[in-house]
């Protein structure tokens, strides 16, 4: 067996002794590091594949964007400019109920100091923006459109911004 220590080659008993000491030193350092990880809760004994942050989720999100952008162009060309919708009441009541649930859940989770308030606040903000968009874009000309625009600019969009600010603030605390 031959061991090289900083450019010097050692052979025989001395080389074997150095290999043993080096191996023991490495074993001790690895054992110490593992004990630290276990004590800090960063290692729970489960084996996980190593992935880059976002890995598969980033690929899926990019795929969705790649499919939806051309789809939007197809819809722009093929959809009629007017359409009579069934379940109109159910659609609007459902959207407003979902927004109310997201806002209420956010208030509850904030009160409890729960870290998941970030998620419900993001959902509430997103639903408020969707509500404003659909209110304005489906409103008839005249008073209905003016009322929808006013509601969007005075209530829904500022509340959405507040929800996103709450989410960002809570995320910064974690």
Enumerate the β-bridge partners of residue 2. 11
Average pLDDT score over residue span 159-173: 92
pLDDT of residue 48: 59
pTM tops 0.85: no
Tokens 């109920």 belong to which residue? 97
Read off the pLDDT of residues 30-75 as tens digits, 9 standing for 90 and up. 677 667 666 666 656 565 555 556 678 788 888 889 999 999 999 8
- How many Cα atoms sit within 13 Å of 163 on the Cβ side? 26
Read off the pLDDT of residues 80-133 as tens digits, 9 standing for 90 and up. 888 888 888 999 999 999 999 999 999 999 999 999 999 999 999 999 999 999
Interatomic CA distance for residues 151 and 146, integer angstroms:
9
Hey, CA dihedral for 152, 125, 60, 54, is it positive or negative? positive
Rg (CA), the chain: 30
**Under a CB-based contact definition with an 8 Å cutoff, are residues 121 and 163 in contact?**
yes
């Amino acid at each position: 067996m031959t061991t090289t220590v900083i450019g010097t080659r050692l052979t025989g008993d001395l080389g074997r002794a150095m290999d043993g000491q080096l191996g023991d030193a490495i074993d001790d350092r690895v054992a110490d590091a593992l004990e630290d990880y276990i004590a800090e809760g960063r290692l729970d004994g489960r084996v996980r594949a190593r992935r880059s942050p976002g890995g598969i989720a980033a690929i899926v999100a990019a795929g969705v964007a790649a499919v939806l952008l051309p789809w939007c162009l197809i819809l722009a060309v093929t959809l009629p400019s007017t359409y009579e919708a069934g379940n109109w009441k159910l659609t609007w009541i459902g959207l407003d109920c979902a927004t109310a649930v997201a806002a209420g859940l956010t208030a509850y989770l904030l009160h409890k100091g729960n870290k998941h308030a970030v998620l419900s606040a993001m959902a509430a903000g997103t639903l408020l923006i969707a509500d404003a968009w659909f209110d304005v874009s489906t409103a008839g000309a005249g008073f209905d459109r003016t009322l929808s625009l006013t509601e969007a600019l005075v209530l829904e969009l500022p509340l959405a911004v507040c929800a996103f600010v709450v989410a960002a603030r809570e995320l910064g605390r974690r």
